[in-house]
Amino acid sequence: MEKISRDKAKAGKAKQHKYIFVVGGVMSGVGKGIATSSIGKILQSKGFKVNPIKVDPYLNVDAGTMNPTEHGEVFVLDSGLETDQDMGNYERFLEMDLNPDDYMTSGMVYKHVIDKERNLGYKGKFVEAIPHVTDEITRRIKHAAEINGSDISIIEIGGTIGDYQNILFIEAARILKIKNPQNVMFIMVSYLPVPGTLGEMKTRPTQNAVRQLNSYGVQPDVIIARSEAPLDQKRKEKLAIWCSVPVENVISAPDIISIYDVPLNFERDKLSSVIMKSLHMRTKAHNGELDEWKKFVKKRAKAKHKLEIAVVGKYFDTGDFMLADAYLSVIEAIKFSSYWSNANTKLTWVNSKEYEVNPKKVSELRKFDGIIVPGGFGETGVEGVILAIEYVRKNKIPYLGLCYGMQLAVIEFCRNVLGWKSAHTAEINPHSPHVVIDIMPEQKKNLENGNYGATMRLGAYPAVLKEGTIAYEAYNHLLTPSVSKISERHRHRYEVNPEHVEEIEKGGLIFSGASPDGRLMEIAELPRSVHPFFLGTQFHPEFKARPLHPHPLFTAFVEACLKKK
Ligand code: GLN
């Protein structure tokens, strides 16, 4: 009896769960991820617990194997799942750690269905795209909502309307809507071009995108109209009539200076009330969430100091646009710490390969207030990076090394301070007499068997901080009681070789953070008496930087850059 009523209560609750599907019209790259994040933000500010979900239509089972300069950053969750960069936007806007269930690709879904079929999970039935694949999609969406107890799921369907690849996801959403008409809505993020020759904003491509969506049996409830300029009333009315949505459901989303203005812009067009109406809901509470956000946005606009930071790495054959995508979390982490330190930072991308051709050129780094070497893989440009690190170490320019940036700093130190001229990483020269960055024995076997997927250290791992170090101070800057154990996200295969740790420390480099068992080095730094700020992390602190909670190590770095200035 008790079980039945519990089940009933559960079913009742599940029924009330709301789903917002965000789809893209006209073209890609118009900010669906930011729109999804911003919808989440304004709903949070109305007292709801939201759950963003990213659906990627490609066949990769995760994003781990993708080249970031082509596809954007690989964003790593606490769990270690390698995902799309949009997951990073969601985490930053919504200040939450996402679960692996909040991400799915076609590959993941198909693999599950095919594995189930092989295991007789479908009990001898035909296994078909509809309903088996669509059911699996819905199961995942519902499961994600259940485990985090959210009120509203916001599901971003990757790709654009008209793509062949995302059709099954739209079909799954359509079926969910048919079954729960009150609880499901569709938002189309579209684009209104202003052709230079005409100078006039055109609505037709959006009309066509809506028609295409209609042909799948789906009618959007809201149109977020991205464009260069705000939408005027006349165009809103035109879109409303041609796309069959109420005029107040056409939301103007002009280009803006900062993506963090988007939630505030959406609220200017009252998007949260429109959503409440569409989903038959009432606002829970105004909880001041957007007040904090506004403060942050103001900080950005008012930042007085100007900082110039160089990001040194192996950049080639990619425009700035792609670089910004490949290192998205690093860029955002720098922004957050800068704004809170009353600074605006200009980042310059420096191709380390140029230093390999012309080592003297490295002195150009003098003009920067600080240098970052971000994560990376492989041999290209590495000697140039090491030259850059040597230069900033000797010239006392603040340095922050992220993952590869820490490993290469250790190599530079071993070569030029300890005199181990051939010091290297096993990733490049496993036969060097001084392999100071090495693969751990337990991982070696996997690598020998060609099992590359199993050789990465992925996701959140704890580290213990050494008191009295720059890292310890940074993490404890505003915290009471103090913390000596932190948790940060990883994505790498190699580690500082434990065999050399003692000698390296004797030489003057401090490992200020290490795994609780003391075997894996997590942070390396030079003492302040030697250098104002020279610090590298084996983990990726950028994955945990948030607008309202900037990452302490990035903040300490920015403060050091300001001081140098
Ligand atoms: N290539 C290095 C490793 O695999 C660093 C990886 C990174 O920077 N994410 O250990």
Burial of 126 (0-12, 13-18, 19+ CB in 10 A): exposed
pTM of the model: 0.92
Mutate to test the pocket of ligand 1, among 386, 491, 542 (most ligand atoms within 8 A of CB): 491
Between vectors from CA 431 to CA 426 and to CA 437, what angle results, nearest 5°?
A: 25
Q: Which residues contact ligand 1 via a Cβ below 6 A?
A: 375-377, 403-404, 407, 427, 491-494
Mutate to test the pocket of ligand 1, among 385, 407, 457 (most ligand atoms within 8 A of CB): 407
Q: What residue owns the CA closest to ligand 1's atom 5?
A: 404
Mutate to test the pocket of ligand 1, among 461, 490, 494 (most ligand atoms within 8 A of CB): 494
Each residue's pLDDT, cut to its tens digit, for the chain (565 residues) gives 445 455 544 544 445 899 999 999 988 888 999 999 999 999 999 999 999 999 999 998 888 777 777 778 999 999 999 999 999 999 999 999 999 999 999 999 999 999 999 999 999 899 999 999 999 999 999 999 998 889 999 999 999 998 999 999 999 999 999 999 999 999 999 999 988 888 888 889 999 999 999 999 999 999 999 999 999 999 999 999 999 999 999 999 999 889 999 999 999 999 999 999 999 998 887 777 788 999 999 988 888 999 999 999 887 555 555 677 889 999 999 999 999 999 999 999 999 999 999 999 999 999 999 999 999 999 999 999 999 999 999 999 999 999 999 999 999 999 999 999 999 999 999 999 999 999 987 777 777 777 666 678 999 999 999 999 999 999 997 655 678 899 999 999 999 999 999 999 999 999 999 999 999 999 999 999 999 999 999 999 999 999 999 999 999 999 999 998 8
Rounded Cα gap, residues 309 and 107, in angstroms = 39
b vs e for 500-522, b when ≥16 Cβ sit within 10 Å of the residue's Cβ? bbeebeeeebbbbbbbeeeebbb
Sequence-separated (6 or more) residues with CB below 8 Å from residue 506: none
- Atom in ligand 1 nearest the alpha carbon of residue 378: 1
Amino acid at 75: F
Sequence-separated (6 or more) residues with CB below 8 Å from residue 233: none
CB 492 within 8 A of CB 401: no
Per-residue DSSP letters for 343-395?
Answer: EEEEEEEEETHHHHH-GGGGGGGGG-SEEEE----SSTTHHHHHHHHHHHHHT
Question: 394 CA distance to ligand 1 centroid (A)?
Answer: 25
- Atom in ligand 1 nearest the alpha carbon of residue 491: 9
- Atom in ligand 1 nearest the alpha carbon of residue 540: 9
Question: 376 CA distance to ligand 1 centroid (A)?
Answer: 5
Total length of the chain: 565
Rounded Cα gap, residues 374 and 7, in angstroms = 50
Rounded Cα gap, residues 114 and 523, in angstroms = 43
Rounded Cα gap, residues 348 and 106, in angstroms = 36
Q: What residue owns the CA closest to ligand 1's atom 7?
A: 375
Question: 405 CA distance to ligand 1 centroid (A)?
Answer: 9
Question: 378 CA distance to ligand 1 centroid (A)?
Answer: 8
- Atom in ligand 1 nearest the alpha carbon of residue 437: 10
- Atom in ligand 1 nearest the alpha carbon of residue 374: 8
Q: Which residues are the active-site residues?
A: 403, 540, 542
Token output for 392: 């900033």
Question: 540 CA distance to ligand 1 centroid (A)?
Answer: 10
Q: Which helix (H) or strand (E) holds 418?
A: none
Q: What residue owns the CA closest to ligand 1's atom 8?
A: 375
Mutate to test the pocket of ligand 1, among 446, 492, 497 (most ligand atoms within 8 A of CB): 492
Instruction: Measure the N-to-C terminal CA separation of the chain; round to a whole number of Å.
Output: 71
- Atom in ligand 1 nearest the alpha carbon of residue 405: 8
Sequence-separated (6 or more) residues with CB below 8 Å from residue 524: 401, 406, 409, 410, 413, 496, 509, 510, 511, 512, 535, 536
Question: 156 CA distance to ligand 1 centroid (A)?
Answer: 30
Structural domains of the chain in order of their starting residue, each with its CATH number: 14-294 (3.40.50.300), 303-564 (3.40.50.880)
Question: 314 CA distance to ligand 1 centroid (A)?
Answer: 13
Rounded Cα gap, residues 402 and 372, in angstroms = 8
Rounded Cα gap, residues 204 and 213, in angstroms = 14
Rounded Cα gap, residues 163 and 167, in angstroms = 7
Please identify which residue in the block is written with the tokens 């599901």: 155
